């Protein structure tokens, strides 16, 4: 069963635009929400993560927005660049637990 | 150079053969994980280990086996019982077994069954 639903599957954005990827989860025990960036043929790299005691976390051009009541969280990439073209995965996990659940991924293409 | 090393990068297997994928880390992390990645799907957990000589099954352990004889090493064997082994395999680590679930991934091994 898919415990973390990610959308869209693919996204095309013009250079300088905002990329938005959304995730929804079901398990209320989840309280750690990371985003990973993966380039073709490489392992995923941790990009940014949030815990539910805050509604937003920003690191450079990357921002996570978190809505606990709706059980949704999203990744915003500001001023998107061609180098951001990659697959992005959201994930969710109970805080001190090995049970990490991943979304299916979003393939982002940023056109120059 | 610290990090997670997976070898080989590409692996080809004939049907009926067992193959072993290597994962080594020099981060001194306690926990190690194996995931499988298929196109269009998220990562699925095969096995994980929190301490030496102990490991637990994940969601898709059938047809796979692991060992954790050393803290630095967590090899994965894909056995002939795994019916559809062609996939990208990822090893990950976490600093402490009881810490929040911040996992770091290796570069992956692509396994193809001929």
CA of B90: which chain A residue's CA is closest? Answer: A43
Task: Say which residues have a Cβ less than 8 Å from residue A69's Cβ, sequence separation at least 6.
Answer: none
Partners of A104 on chain B (C-beta within 8 Å) are 40-42
Partners of B45 on chain A (C-beta within 8 Å) are 98-100
Question: pLDDT tens digits, residue range A9-29?
Answer: 999 999 999 999 999 999 998
Q: Does B5 touch chain A (CB under 8 A)?
A: no
Distance from CA of B95 to the nearest CA of A (A): 12
Spans of chain A below 50 pLDDT: none
Question: pLDDT tens digits, residue range B78-95?
Answer: 998 888 999 999 999 998
Distance from CA of A88 to the nearest CA of B (A): 10
Q: Does B73 touch chain A (CB under 8 A)?
A: no
Three-state DSSP at A67 gives: strand
The CA-atom distances, in angstroms, between B69 and each of A53, B66, B88 are 38, 10, 24
């Amino acid at each position: 069963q898919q415990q973390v639903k990610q959308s869209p599957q693919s996204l095309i954005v013009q250079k300088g635009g905002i990329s938005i990827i959304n995730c929804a989860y079901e398990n209320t025990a989840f309280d750690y929400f990371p985003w990973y960036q993966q380039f073709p043929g490489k392992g995923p790299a941790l990009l940014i993560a949030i815990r539910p005691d805050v509604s937003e976390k920003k690191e450079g051009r990357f921002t996570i927005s978190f809505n606990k009541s709706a059980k949704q969280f999203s990744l915003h990439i500001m001023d998107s660049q061609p180098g951001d073209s990659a697959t992005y995965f959201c994930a969710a996990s109970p805080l001190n637990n090995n049970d990490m659940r991943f979304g299916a991924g979003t393939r982002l293409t940023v056109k120059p | 150079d610290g990090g997670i090393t997976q070898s080989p990068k590409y692996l080809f297997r004939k049907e009926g053969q067992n193959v072993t994928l290597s994962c080594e880390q020099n981060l001194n992390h306690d926990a190690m994980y194996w995931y499988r990645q298929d196109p269009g799907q998220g990562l699925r957990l095969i096995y994980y280990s929190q301490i030496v000589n102990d490991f637990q099954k994940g969601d898709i352990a059938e047809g796979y086996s692991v060992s954790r004889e050393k803290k630095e090493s967590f090899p994965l064997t894909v056995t002939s019982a795994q019916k559809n082994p062609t996939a990208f395999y990822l090893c990950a680590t976490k600093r402490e077994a009881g810490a929040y679930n911040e996992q770091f991934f290796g570069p992956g091994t692509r396994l193809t069954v001929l």
